Amino acid sequence: MSAVIAHLRSRREAHLEQLAAYLRLPSISTLNLGLKEAADHLAGLMREAGVEARILPTKGHPVVYGEAGGPAGAPVLLVYGHYDVQPAEMAEGWASPPFEPQVREGRLYARGAGDNKGQHFAQLKAVEAFKATGTPLPVTVKFLIEGEEEMGSTHLREFVVANRDLLKADIACSSDGSLHPSRRPTLALGCRGLLYVELIAQGAGKDLHSGSYGGAVESPFWRLMRAVQALRGPDGRVRVPGFYGAVRPLGRADREALAGIPDPASELRAALGEGAERIGEAATFYARTQTEPNLNICGFQGGYSGEGMKTVIPGAVRAKVDFRLVVDQDPHKLFEDVRAFLAREGFGDIEVRKLATFEPSKTPADHPLIQKVIRAIGWEGQKPVVYPNFGGSVPDTVFTKDLGVPSVWLPLANADSNSHAPDENLRLDVFHMGCE
């Protein structure tokens, strides 16, 4: 292993230049921009690293598959990532062009630096170091890098199911997301699910003058707000019958993991300002954001909210809400339950549209392979932070359900990497640590 580490450290500048070249490719899946070029480039990087690479079609953007063999009978590690990125424009508040990578004060700034190009690039460089030094890989490594994660991994499940034999593995490992703010080694063992819906209340079908019609015609916003409010009680609990019925009590291993997560208060206070005062203690914060379901209002749309004033009764208005779900909650069943609940509450006229779903997923913290990972990933003597779940939603069920293997997420980006936001960045020390 010393030869592998020495090789990685001797190639740091070259690795940074290679990553910058990869980040210059926009590869924005939601705009169908640059995906083929990015897939071709990544396949080339794999081949240069000594990894057999193929570009495999889906009904959408292609998957880049790579394989590096280990000894006969060695365990198989399936590495997941995504080469597509979020849209980015200077007008959003970037200090430098998002697709012209720049290093400033020990950070590499570019769209995709943290989410997710920088992270799977680091994993690829680790495999390359074994190959370059003639050090046998202890496992067979398979890479599954998709191009649709930022649009909901639309065709990933279909691809995985159709390629079960190719993707057969003992464990799946995905480096996405962020380290704990303490920068201790971090792993997550699943994700919350998602049901994202749009509620639509109709008015007159066109905007009306509020002076001419106000008092005789009610703004549909009033009805929409009452419908949204009906979903949640004053105690913060979701009122849809059966919502909590499938929620499991936390097991001992997860309770112990939550208790061992460092207090994030100081970091969150710096990031959130006064909003951080309501997060509570560390265990409570992480329990709420990782292991409990909740309902959130994302936004309202309709009428006039621009500069100045415009006196209108909107013709139609919309609200977007998301339900975050935990394992055993079914987003498709919940959608039907929400529609039925609103109808029973007298809001049958409110149209409910399903915009996105993700199934929740979970690998037990006491799984033998997970315990091996926890023991293996400590660096510089630091005890790993174990998240029972990511609070967000990722396509984890393709591994735990469709492939039937344990899955672990090992983020290799700093907590303040600004994923999906202006000035996305990757700390260079974190990047080099990820390679090693």
**What count of other Cβ atoms lies within 10 Å of the Cβ of residue 429?**
12
Cα Dmax for the chain: 81
pLDDT in tens, 387-410: 999 998 889 999 999 999 999 999
Most confident of the ranges 98-107, 360-369, 413-422: 98-107
pLDDT in tens, 148-186: 999 989 999 999 999 999 999 999 999 999 999 888 999
The CATH class that applies to domain 2-179+411-435 reads: alpha beta
Kindly give, in sequence order, each residue whose CB lies less than 8 Å from that of residue 308, ignoring residues fewer than 6 positions away. none
pLDDT-derived band at 344 (thresholds 50, 70, 90) equals very high
Residue 104 has pLDDT above 90, yes or no: yes
Residue 273 has pLDDT above 90, yes or no: no
User: What residues does CATH 3.30.70.360 cover in the chain?
Assistant: 193-247+293-358
- pLDDT recorded at residue 267: 66
Measured CA to CA, the distance from residue 18 to residue 10 in angstroms comes to 14
Residue 352 has pLDDT above 80, yes or no: yes
CATH number of the domain at 193-247+293-358, please? 3.30.70.360
- pLDDT recorded at residue 182: 85
Measured CA to CA, the distance from residue 72 to residue 333 in angstroms comes to 45
Residue 121 has pLDDT above 90, yes or no: yes
What is the average pLDDT across 131-142? Answer: 97
- Half-sphere exposure of residue 190, counting CA atoms within 13 Å on the CB side? 27
- Report the mean per-residue pLDDT for the chain: 94
Helix axes 117-133, 2-10, angle to 10 degrees: 120
| Alpha carbon 271 to its chain's center | 19
Structure token pair of residue 207: 């905007």
User: What residues does CATH 3.40.630.10 cover in the chain?
Assistant: 2-179+411-435
